[in-house]
Amino acid sequence: MKRQSPTRSNSSGYTGAYGALRNKCNRWLAAIAVSILAVFPAMAEETVILALGDSLTQGFGLPEEEGFVPQMQAWLRNEGAEVRIINGGVSGDTSAGGLARTAWSLTPEVEAVIVNLGANDMLRGVDPADTRANIDGILTTIDEKGLPVLITTVPSAGNFGAYYKKSFDAVFPELAEQYGALLYPNFFAALGGENLSDARQWMQGDGIHPNAEGVGKIVEAMGPAVLDLIDLAAD
């Protein structure tokens, strides 16, 4: 019996069952390629932010998912931002502690920084000149990396007198202007500013740290400033 050669089409290769299978495989591979191309640009566009701070950043007294960093990251993503925030908050940290760890915290993946330090300096009565020198050192290190920065802190409560308050409160806006940094002047602005005694429903029992609902209000108020930071990182 004479053996028949497989029939070929003129344009798309083999016909019959083999051709259908090959076409199906090609479509499958094409779909995978499209999926890969869709995923990798999104990964490349992700902005990595270091949140360098104290217990307010770290999320003291709260479940991990209810702290400042997870709530801010969720808020930003809900606004359409591709972002990942590194929690660089250390409870009890002063501006001196923040300065000591700034250089090694700025890993190559970091593209922008939130600096939230100074609250513990104020509570301990640290000389505002020392706080200024430490924040200046932090901003210098960040500036050498060419990274945009958002500065925030809490105003002095006035426990150490009017001169201390004036000197302390001047540190952050003046340094923000000097370094061309974004400024969110009061971390607690959404809870009533300096008079936190009227914000007890949004504070933990210590009267110092916000509860989960309080963090949510802070995040909603500060979020637009962080979106501006992300825009600067993309430039």
Q: Running DSSP on this structure, what letter comes out for residue 79?
A: T
**225 pLDDT above the threshold of 90:** yes
**32 pLDDT above the threshold of 70:** no
Strand pairing category for 83-89 and 112-116: unpaired
Residues β-bridged to residue 114:
51, 150
Upper half-sphere CA count for residue 71 (Cβ side, 13 Å) = 24
Distance, in Å, from the CA atom of 159 to the CA atom of 185, rounded to the nearest integer, reads 19
Residue 146, by phi and psi: left (phi above 0), alpha (psi -120 to 50) or beta?
Answer: left
Give the pLDDT confidence of 159-207 residue by residue, as tens digits.
899 999 999 999 999 999 999 999 999 999 999 866 666 788 999 999 8
Higher pLDDT, 157 or 77: 77
0.75 exceeded by pTM: yes
Distance, in Å, from the CA atom of 181 to the CA atom of 135, rounded to the nearest integer, reads 12
Distance, in Å, from the CA atom of 173 to the CA atom of 226, rounded to the nearest integer, reads 17
Q: 113 near 53, Cβ under 8 Å?
A: no
